[in-house]
Amino acid sequence: MTAEGSLPRKTIGIFGGGQLARLMIPVAARYGALCHVFDADPHAPAFDLTPHQHRASFDDTAAIDRFAHACDVITCEFENIPITALQRAAQITPVIPDPNHFAMAQDRLHEKTMAQKAGLSVPLFASVTHKDEVKGFFNQHGPAILKRRCGGYDGKGQKRILTSADLQDESLSFLLEGPCLIEALVPFTHEISTIAARGVSETALLPIGDNHHHQGILRKTSVPSSLPDVVLDLARQQTFAVMNHLNYQGILTIEWFVTAQGSLLFNECAPRVHNSGHWSLEGSSLSQFDMAIRVLLGMPLPDPVFVSPRVEMLNLLGDAIQQRDVYERCPRAALYDYGKPIFRSGRKMGHVTFF
Ligand code: AMP
C-alpha cells in the first residue's frame, strides 16, 4: 500500500451566477469538486462562494475560451444563456445538458412541439405575430394567455386575455414586437413539476410536490403532492418519455398542469435545477443539486427518497426577506438568503424550507 498519492479534482463550470449556482456550489464542494462561475454581473450571488470568477459578458469569446479551458465539464443555471456561448464552450469542454436542449427550451414554440413529438398533451396553442391572430384565437377558444416565445420567466413577457377588452391593452402590441405564442387558459386544479436527472446509464427522479403560483411566480412548493399516485406515475412516465425522446443527459425540470379529470398537460421545461426543487436540500436523501452534480461528475445516481414526511418551501420575494428573523427562530426551518444587494417587488431574494 502506498502512503501518499495524488487525487484528481474535477472542476465544474457554471454559466450564470444566480441563486441556483449559489445553491449548487456547496453540494459540488461536498463531492470534492471545484466550481468556476461565469457571469457579467459583478454582484452575481454565486460569486460569494467561489474565488474562480469569470466576470465577462456572454459574447466575450476570449473569456468563454478561458473559462472552458479551466473546466472539466460545464453546465448552466439559467436557460437563457446565449446559445453561441454554450456552443463555443462545448467545442473545448463537454457542456451538460447539451446546448441543443437549451436551444429547445429557450423557445416556447420549439418546447411545445418537442413535447407533442414525445407523445405529451399540451394546452391548445398557436404561434402568432399579429393582433388579428390573437383576436381570432380568443374569439374561437375563449380566455387565453399571450406569451413571448423567447426570454420570459417568472410570468414576465405574458399577458392574460380574459375578456375582449383585454385585446385593446397596449401591452399586447409590446409583446407582439417579438414572436409570440397564444395558449388557451387551462382550468387546472394543480401545478406540479418533475425534476429528473439522467447520467450515462442511470435515471433518478425527485419525489413530486405541488407548486403554488401567484401572478406567474412560484410562491410555495408542498411535498408530497396531494395528487393520486396514478397521476404522479403518469408524470414520471412522461418525464422519462421526454428524456428518451431527446436522448437527454443531465438534469431536466418539466412543469405540468393537472386538471380536475386528472389530465396532465405539459407547460414548459428547463434543462437545469429548479426553484420548485429547493425543498430537496432538507427533505430528500439526494437533493436536486446532488442529482445535477452527480451527472456532471459521472457518479452513481440512486433514486432519491423522502427523509421528512412533509416539507414546505416558501419563496421570500422582494421585501419579504426583511422578515427573515421570524424564520431564524424556528428550529425546523432552513433559511436561505441569496445575498442580493437590492430587493424589488417579485424578486427572489431567498427561501425557507420547513421540514
Ligand atoms: P409560464 O411562464 O408559462 O410557466 O407561466 C407562469 C404561470 O402562469 C404558470 O405557472 C401558471 O400558473 C400560469 N399559466 C401559464 N400558462 C397558463 C395556461 N395556459 N393556463 C393557465 N395558467 C397558465
Q: In the CATH hierarchy, which top-level class contains the domain 11-95?
A: alpha beta
d(CA 61, CA 98): 19
CATH number attached to the domain at 124-184: 3.30.1490.20
At residue 95, the 3 state secondary structure works out as strand
pLDDT value at position 95? Answer: 98
How does residue 177 score in pLDDT terms, banded at 50, 70 and 90? very high
Q: What number is the average pLDDT over the span 328-335? A: 95
Sequential DSSP letters for 290-335:
HHHHHHHHT---PPP-BSSS-EEEEEEEGGGGGGHHHHHT-TTEEE
Task: Look up the CATH superfamily of 188-354.
Answer: ATP-grasp fold, B domain (3.30.470.20)
Does the beta carbon of 210 sit less than 6 angstroms from any atom of ligand 1? no
d(CA 63, CA 67): 6
d(CA 71, CA 286): 24
pTM across the whole model: 0.96
Distance 147 CA to ligand 1 centre (A): 9
77: left (phi over 0), alpha (psi -120 to 50) or beta: alpha
Q: Which atom of ligand 1 is nearest to the CA of 108?
A: 3
How does residue 1 score in pLDDT terms, banded at 50, 70 and 90? low
Give residue limits of the domains in the chain. Answer: 11-95, 124-184, 188-354
Question: To test ligand 1's pocket by mutation, which of 159, 259, 267 has the most ligand atoms within 8 angstroms of CB?
Answer: 267
Does the beta carbon of 268 sit less than 6 angstroms from any atom of ligand 1? yes
* Tens digit of each residue's pLDDT (9 = 90 or more) over 128-154: 999 999 999 999 999 999 999 998 777
Distance 216 CA to ligand 1 centre (A): 6
Domains 11-95 and 124-184 share a fold: no
How does residue 159 score in pLDDT terms, banded at 50, 70 and 90? very high
Query: CA triplet 11, 17, 23: central angle to 5 degrees?
Result: 75
